[in-house]
Structure 1
Amino acid sequence: MMVLAILSLLMAFASISTDIYLPAMPAMAAALQTSSGVLEWTISGYLVGFSLGQLAWGPISDRFGRRIPTAIGIIIFAIGSAGCATADGPAAIVGWRLVQAFGACAGVVLSRAMVRDLYEGDRAASMLSTLMIAMGIAPLIGPIIGGQILAIAGWRAIFWTLVGVGVATLCALTALPETLGADRRSELSFSRSLKGYGVLLRNSRFMAFSCAGGFFFAGTFAYVAGSPFAYISYHHVPASLYGLLFGAGIVGVMIGNLVNARLVTRFGASRMLSIGAGLAALAGCALAVTASSDMGGLIGLVVPLFVFVSMTGLVIANSFAGALADFSEMAGSASALVGAIQYGSGMIGSALVGAFADGTAWPLGAVVAVAGAGSLVCAMWARNLSKVRG
C-alpha cells in the first residue's frame, strides 16, 4: 500500500506542477504585465523540459536503477519551483519552468518503469489505471488549493508550496524499494542506450500506441492552457471557483480509470484504447461546434470537455501499456520515449492555443477536435497491428 501511494505521488508530479497554479494565470499575467498568450508559454515551456528530460532519465534509470535518479529529479524540481517563486518576468518563469519540468519528469517516467518492472501486458494497464485513480486527487484539489493560496498569499506562494511538496516527496522516497535489481540493469553506455530510441521509433506498434496517447495529450494540454482564460476571462467565472469546474473533469478521469482497471483484462488494452479515443473524438467535434458558435454558453464548453478528459483513463494507461508491452528489457527508455512523444504533443497543443488566442474559446475547441480525431486514427492503427500480432 505504501509503494502504491508513493508511485501515485510520483506519477502526479506533472499535474501537481501545473494544475495548482492554473487559477492564478490571469492574475500572473496582470502582475507581470503580459498577455494571456505569452503566459500560456509557461505551460508549453514546462512541456519542453518534461519531454526532453524523460529521454535522459529513461536510459539513466535502466543502468543505475530507479530510486537514485528519482531522488535527484525531485531535488531539481524543488530548485525550479523556488526559481518560479522568485521570478520577475514571464521569460524567467518560462526558464525556471523548464528546470522544474526536467526534475518532475524523473518521478513520472520512472514510476511507470517501476510498474513495468513489476507487471506485464493487460495487468500492467490495469495497474496503471489503478495508480491514476489514486493520483487523481492531485489535479482534483490542485486548482482548488491554488485558488485559495492565491486569495490568501498571492501567486508566488503557490510555487513555494511546490517546493514543500518536493521536500515531502523526497522524504517519502526513502520508503520505496528498488524495483530494478543490479542483475537486471543495462550494461550499455548512456550514448549507446540513446541509440535504442531508434529501435523504438522504427517499431510500428510502439509508435501507433504512443501517438494515440500523443494526440490525446495535445487536446488535454490545450484544455489545461486554454480553460483558465475561456472560463475566467471569457465567461467571467471567479478564479476561486475555477478549481471546481476543473475538478469535475478530474472526477471524470478517475471514473474512466476505474472503468478501465476493471475491464481492460477482459477486453484488452487495444480495444479499450479504441473506445476511449472514439468517445474523445466525438467530444472534440462537439466542443468545436459549441466553442465557435457559443452554443450553450459556459455549459457548452464544460460538458464536451468533461467527456473528453474523462477518456484519459481509457486512452493514456492503455497507450502506455501497449507501447511498453514488447520492451521489458528497456522499460525505462521505452517509458521515457512514450512520455516524450506524448508530452511533446501536449506542448504543441498548448502552444497552438496560445498562438491562436483571440479572447474566445474557439482556439481551444479547434485544437481539441483535431487532437481527438488524431487519437482515434492512431488507436485504430494500434488495434489493427495488435490483431495481426495475435
Structure 2
Amino acid sequence: MRMDLTARQLAVLLASMVALSPLAVDAYLPALPTMATELGTTVNILQTSLSTYLGGLGLGLLLGGPLSDHYGRRLVGKIGIFIFMVISLAIALIHHAEAIIVLRFVQAFGGGCLTVIAPAFVRDRYDGKEAARIFALIGLIMAVAPLLAPAIGAVILTYFGWEWIFVFLGAYALLILIVVMPRLPERRIKVLSAISPRQVFKDYWGVLTHKSAMGYLLTQSFAIGVMFVFLTSSSYTYIEYFGVSEGMFPVYFGMNMVAAMLLNRLNPFLLKFLDPHQILGIGLCSQFLTVVALAFLTLAGRAEFVFVVPLIVGSVGAAGLIMPNCMTCFISNFPEKPGTANALFGTSQYVIGGCLGALASAFHTGNILPMSLMMLVGSVTALGAYTVLAGGRLRMPALQRDGQADDSRQ
C-alpha cells in the first residue's frame, strides 16, 4: 500500500499535501479588505501576516527537515499538520489583528514541518531527469491550489464570512492527516534514531559550503521572491490601486497560476532535449525580461492595467519552469539527507521572499512602484546567482536512490 505507489500516485499525494501552504496564503487574500474593516485596522497592517506566515514556514522547514531525516518523514508530517489544523481553528475564533498575525506564524510553522518532507520523499526514490519530471508533475497539480484558492476564499467570504476561510483550512488539514499521511511511504534506508545540534549544524554547513548547490539555493530564493512580492502586494495592486472587484480578483490572480501551469507542462517536452540546468536558465531569462519591462513602465508613469497584468503574469508564471528544475539541480547533490538540504532550500526562499515582500509593503507609496522595483531586485539577483555560482553545464551526479553519491565531480 505504501511502497508500491507509482510515480504518478506519489506525486498526487505529495501535491495535495504541499498544496496546504498555497491554500493558506492565497485563500484569504480576497478577504483582507473586509478583515481590515471588521478588525479596525488597515490592509497594509494585515498584509504583514503574509510575511510572518512565510517566516513561520521557513522555521518549520528548518527544524522539520533534519527531524524527518532522523525520525522519519511521516511522523514529522503528522505533528506539523496537527499544529496547522489546531491553529487554523483558533484563528477563526479570534478577532484581534495582532493576535492573528502571531498565530499565522505558528500556523505556518506546522505547515513548514509538513511541506519540507515532500521533496525528500521524491529524492528518496528518484534522481536526475526522472526527479525533474516528478517535481514538474507535483508542480502542475499544486498549481491548482493557488488557482482555486482566491475563488474559494471569495465564495466563503461572500456567503459565510472570513472566519470560515480558516475553518476550511482546518478541515483540509484534517483530511490530509487521516487520508494522505497513512498512505505515504517511509524511507527505504534506515532512519537514524538520534540527533544532536552539532550534527544538524554540520549537515547544514555541508550545504552552505557547496558552491553550486548554494547557487541554486539563491537562484530559487530570489526568483520565487518575485512571486512573493506580488503575493504580498496583490490585494492592494488589483483591488485598491486598479479598482478590481473582490469577485474579479481571483480571475486576475488565477491568470498567474494558469501561466505557471502551461510552462510547467512544457517542461517534460524540454527535458527531451535539454537538461534541468539549461531549462532553468530559460525560465530565469523569461522572468527577467518581463520584470524589466514592468519596472520600466512603472518608472515612466505608464503602468496601466492593460500592460501591468500580462507582465505580472509573465514574471510570476515563469516559476513553472524555474521551480522544478532548480529543485532537481539542488537536491541531486544531497542523496543521504535530502530532508536537511531541502529544509535550508525551502527556508531561504520563504525568508528571502518574505523579506522582499515586507520591503515592498514598508516602502508603500500609494502606487505599484515598490512592488515593481522589489520584483526587479529579486529577478536580477536570481539571474546573477545562477550565472556566477551555478554557472556552466550541469553534470548530474551518478546517484543510487537511497544510497551513496558519486562525488567525483565535486
Query: What's the TM-score, normalizing by structure 2?
Result: 0.91
Alignment pair present for 1:14 and 2:21: yes
More helix by share: 1
- The aligned residue for residue 367 of structure 1 is 374
Amino acid paired to 2:206? V
1:119 aligns with 2:126: yes
Deviation for aligned residue 1:167:
0.7
Q: Say whether residues 1:285 and 2:292 are aligned partners.
A: yes
| 1:194 pairs with 2:200 | yes
Range moving further from structure 2, 245-254 or 293-302? 293-302
Query: Are 2:153 and 1:153 aligned?
Result: no
Question: Structure 1 vs Structure 2: percent identity of aligned residues?
Answer: 30
Match for residue 185 of structure 1?
Answer: 191
User: 1:60 Cα deviation (Å)?
Assistant: 0.7
| CA deviation vs aligned residue, 1:169-204 (integer Å, no higher than 9, x gap) | 1122244232303x4323551423421101111111
Matches within 5 A, 1:57-206: 57-181=64-188, 183-186=189-192, 189-195=195-201, 196-206=203-213
Task: Return the offset for 1:377.
Answer: 1.1
Could you tell me whether the CA contact under 8 Å between 2:59 and 2:112 is conserved in 1? no
Q: 1:16 & 1:323 partners in 2: Cα distance? A: 26
Q: 1:83-142 CA distances to partner (integer Å, 9 max, x unpaired)?
A: 221222221111111111011112221011101111012221221011110121111111
Aligned counterpart for 1:226 among listed residues 219, 226, 233: 233
How much has 1:26 moved relative to structure 2?
Answer: 1.5
Listed as ranges, the matches of 1:220-259 within 5 Å are: 220-259=227-266
Letter in 2 for 1:100: Q
Please state if 1:306 is matched with 2:313.
yes
Q: Deviations over 1:258-298 (max 9, x none)?
A: 11233235311111111111111111111112334452521
Runs of 4+ residues over 4 Å off in structure 1 = 385-390
**Total equivalences in the alignment:** 389
Question: What is the SS of the residue equivalent to 1:384?
Answer: coil
**AA of the residue aligned to 1:84:** I
Q: Which residue of 1 aligns with 2:280?
A: 273
1:386 to partner: Cα distance: 4.6
Letter in 1 for 2:380: A
- 1:265–1:211 Cα change, 3 Å: farther
Q: 1:212, 1:84 → 2: CA distance?
A: 34
* Aligned partner letter, 1:39: L
Where 2:366 maps in the other structure, the secondary structure is: coil
CA distance in 2, matches of 1:49, 1:366: 25
Written as runs of structure 1 = structure 2, the 5 A alignment for 1:292-371 is 292-295=299-302, 297-371=304-378
Gap change, CA 1:192 and 1:173, over 3 Å in 2 = farther
The answer to whether structure 1 residue 208 and structure 2 residue 232 are counterparts is no
Show the counterpart of 1:27.
34
TM-score (structure 1 length as normaliser): 0.95
- Where does the alignment leave 5 or more consecutive residues of structure 2 unmatched? 1-7, 396-408
Query: What CA distance in whole angstroms lies between the structure 1 residues aligned with 2:97 and 2:225?
Result: 23
> Is the Cα contact below 8 Å between 1:126 and 1:265 reproduced in 2?
no
